[in-house]
Structure 1
Amino acid sequence: MTAISAYAPLAPLNEKQHTISFQEIYPEQRSETVFANPNVSDAVIPHLGRSTQQALLLKAAREQYTLVTDHAIPTILNKDEILVKILAVGLNPIDWKGPAFNFGIPSLPWVNGRDLAGIVVKAGTSSRVHEGDIVLVPSTDYRDIRKAAFQEYAIATHFNAARIPSSRNIHASASLGVAFVASALALGVSLGLDFSLVTKCPGPSLTDVVHQLDVNTIPVDIKKECFSAVSDVERVTSGDWIAIWGASTTTGYITLQLAKLAGLRVICVADIARHGARLVELGADVLVDRHDTDRAKEIIRGVTNGKLRYAIDIVGKDTATILEATLDDAVRSDGSHAHLLGLTGLPKERKSSLTYHTVPIKLFHESSQVGEQIVCWLEALLQSDTLQLPEIIRTDGGLGSINASLDLLREGTASGKRIVVDLASS
């Protein structure tokens, strides 16, 4: 299949949509920019004459974040970068686990935060998004402190920003970015699922996009994973069974929806009493309760007649090991194998007859071609109302409320939902 190189733009804005004047921000700019989300007022657009901002700094591992008011507003360094005024921040487990267990922190003090939504306040003429656009940004490039979400302003690359249609809630949209990128790369690159064959709102064939890249531009540590689905006999296709352990997580919800769009049959492992109804609503073919692991393995093997070839674990090494036991470990006559992908860990001891995967998340921000294909498809899915957004718990209080919100996340209060912190009213 050939890669999809372009997507239709968002529908034209109508006269009822809100307009923001940028003349106060940029006196040299004479035109007005149409603001694509009527739910956010002009008041969230401050003067950019200052050089500092509020931010949450992590000053030491195993400590809470500290709110400061004198952190530098990040600077645009190249033509692909845009500046975003952050209006909402979606919280991820890594936001508390990183400091608690001292990982994913390049240096100290540091700014964290992976999911944000906001308004573009600076963009170059060649950018695919424009000043005034409301966008969501999955900040996968965590080593660049300028791109972190726990601050008033953040840098993003235009090919990593997805415009949010006016019909979609900005806070719910702020919660799905990293989860969507992880799901798209897991299914579309690691397992080779061809989204261009989707009937409703088709997407890209990411394996074709990757194969068109200069191999020398792909980071060494993800190169093997990027080309793991090169053989057609190894790629997951419509009609195949796939098991998802951790299906009630945001990544699980998104993975389930993308898999169903592509015609896969999906087994969802989760707390069925709490999340079963939602998973059925999203299209799950089989529900398996996670509390009885022996029974779970038995059900998965029974449903697939012992021939399961594809599985994704979103929880950790222990559950990935359980899921591994449900896979058919026999090499097929065509030389193909069963595949296990772990988002947060894989079994310590591995079988030579199985193929193991991680998500090449770095590909999203390292490759403009891959990044743009993913966000363009996300825009189309949102515009067509094809993708259901995560349920959220919205908290007010701005950056200063994030520590308390992370405590709720750590305690499991938000199980099955995402906590989103509102910055627009702070």
Structure 2
Amino acid sequence: MSASLSSSPPPLSSAVPETQRILLLHGPRQPYKLVEDYPVPKLQGDAEVLVKTNTIGLNPIDWKAPDYNFAIPELPYISGRELSGDICQISSESSRFKIGDRVIAISTDYRDPRKAAYQSYAVSFDFNTVRLPARISYEEGSTLGVAFVAASLALCICMGVDFSDVADGPDLLKIVKEIDPALIPEDVRAETLHGISDDERARPGDWLAVWGGSATSANLTVQLARLAGLKVATIVDSARHGLRISNHKFIRPDLMIDSHDPQRAVQILQHNIGDEVRFGLDTRGKDTAAMLLEGLTKGRSTSNSAAPGGRPPSPPGTPRSSTSAHLIGLTGLPKGAATEGVTLHSVPIKLFHEVPAVGHALVTWLERLLEQGLVSPPEIIDIEEGLENVNTGLDRMRNGEIRGGKLVVRLAN
């Protein structure tokens, strides 16, 4: 009996019902409606797993999309970008997962409702799924997936950061340049392959300015940037978030600037760093991205003149031009602004779910970062209970109650 059991193949599924509870959006500016008997999604192909949802992480786009009628490919629609739970079905015996594994499912593919988080069971690609270490709770796991992907792609692709020396992390720029270009989605191909040249890639000691430092995406960006040896200037509402951020082990910046007066913030950035700040990342929108663009361009010159603040110019023979800079907009970029000397970047999120080599590199790296305690999940502001209370949570986000952390929804088991 023992020998027979040991030679049996692993189970491909635990008990999975035919129907489930989900939330459906029937139209713009409407609340999500609870449906009690919706079909459980089916796996398609060898790269997919089915996850029983334990906790859902809420993101701003979950309320902004219906309110402003964007990123809704069809109606009725299932939303939700990230969740944690348990693997309950796998497509193949060769899967790197087994039934019962605790995981994070990161759903950046909003066009496939099977992968949406607002349901009791969700499909995920195995290369978009992160195994949770024992030290990380379901609630913590539901907070960081989308932010980690956005931060990683911003740093690795738009800035060219090589994380090979950080928990055996990826050099994503090298990975994508070794892939057949036809396999990279056409609308992100130029950013992916030509967004930054090899000699412009960020290196340890370079400065990164992050505008909107209280956002979850900023939290993960700062954590990863510090691991890579970058210096970080955070522009943030100091009255609301300054003390928490300045005392935080993982996201404490090298320089904190109050965003209350944007023009003053630009002046402080220039006075303290000048044209040494080559990289900027904005998490808030076009207006603040324009301010950050001003911070990157103001005082930059093709001549090798003295930098603001009386610092000497770059010495002759400096391997990179002191005038080059890069601005990354997570939620928008300024239109019609002068960008001489600055390259504008949009984060190619599609790479995560459409290029398996990229997704696999990121999720396995996040597993190591969490296991080794090198990355800390964002703070959980509060927990709502039950799928039906997602709407309550989204209303709290609309009303500005959730700042500097995450609101999550725990489903009844």
- In the alignment, which of 294, 308, 311 is matched to residue 277 of structure 2? 308
* 2:221 match: secondary structure: helix
> 1:368 corresponds to which residue?
356
- In the alignment, which of 323, 332, 357 is matched to residue 292 of structure 2? 323
Q: Deviation of residue 204 (structure 1)? A: 0.8
Normalised by the length of structure 1, the TM-score is 0.86
Runs (4+) of structure 1 moved beyond 6 Å? 29-33
The 8 Å contact of residues 129 and 161 in structure 1, kept in 2 or not, is answered as no
C-alpha separation in 2, matches of 1:142 and 1:91: 14
The 8 Å contact of residues 393 and 417 in structure 1, kept in 2 or not, is answered as yes
> 1:64 corresponds to which residue?
31
C-alpha separation in 1, matches of 2:120 and 2:216: 25
C-alpha separation in 1, matches of 2:412 and 2:85: 9
Q: Deviations over 1:108-137 (max 9, x none)?
A: 000000011110001121222221111001
- In the alignment, which of 44, 65, 73 is matched to residue 106 of structure 1? 73
Amino acid at match of 1:378: L
Give the 5 Å matches for 1:174-193.
174-193=142-161
Give the 5 Å matches for 1:249-264.
249-264=215-230
C-alpha separation in 2, matches of 1:405 and 1:305: 41
Matched, 1:287 2:275: no
C-alpha separation in 1, matches of 2:391 and 2:14: 25
The 8 Å contact of residues 260 and 283 in structure 1, kept in 2 or not, is answered as no
Matched, 1:355 2:355: no
C-alpha separation in 2, matches of 1:84 and 1:77: 14
C-alpha separation in 2, matches of 1:108 and 1:132: 33
The 8 Å contact of residues 106 and 128 in structure 2, kept in 1 or not, is answered as yes
- Per mean C-alpha deviation after superposition, the further-off stretch among 318-327 and 226-235 is 226-235
Instruction: Say what the alpha-carbon RMSD is for the aligned residues.
Output: 1.9
Q: Deviations over 1:18-45 (max 9, x none)?
A: xxxxxxxxxxx88789xxxxxxxxxxx9
Matched, 1:342 2:341: no
C-alpha separation in 2, matches of 1:243 and 1:271: 14
> 2:63 corresponds to which residue?
96
Normalised by the length of structure 2, the TM-score is 0.89
Instruction: Identify unmatched segments of 5+ residues in structure 1.
Output: 1-28, 34-44
Instruction: Identify unmatched segments of 5+ residues in structure 2.
Output: 1-7, 304-317
C-alpha separation in 1, matches of 2:256 and 2:175: 34
Distance 1:215 1:31, change over 3 A: closer
Q: Deviation of residue 228 (structure 1)? A: 3.1
* 1:409 match: secondary structure: helix
> 2:315 corresponds to which residue?
none
Matched, 1:391 2:379: yes
Q: Deviation of residue 256 (structure 1)? A: 0.4
> 1:166 corresponds to which residue?
134
Percent of aligned pairs sharing the same letter: 44
Q: Deviation of residue 411 (structure 1)? A: 1.1
- In the alignment, which of 258, 265, 268 is matched to residue 296 of structure 1? 265
* 1:143 match: secondary structure: coil
Q: Deviation of residue 398 (structure 1)? A: 1.4
- Per mean C-alpha deviation after superposition, the further-off stretch among 272-281 and 50-59 is 272-281
Q: Deviations over 1:50-94 (max 9, x none)?
A: 321110000011100000012111000100010000000000000
Q: Deviation of residue 272 (structure 1)? A: 1.3
Size of the aligned set, in residue pairs, is 383
Q: Deviations over 1:288-319 (max 9, x none)?
A: 11111111001100111333211000000000
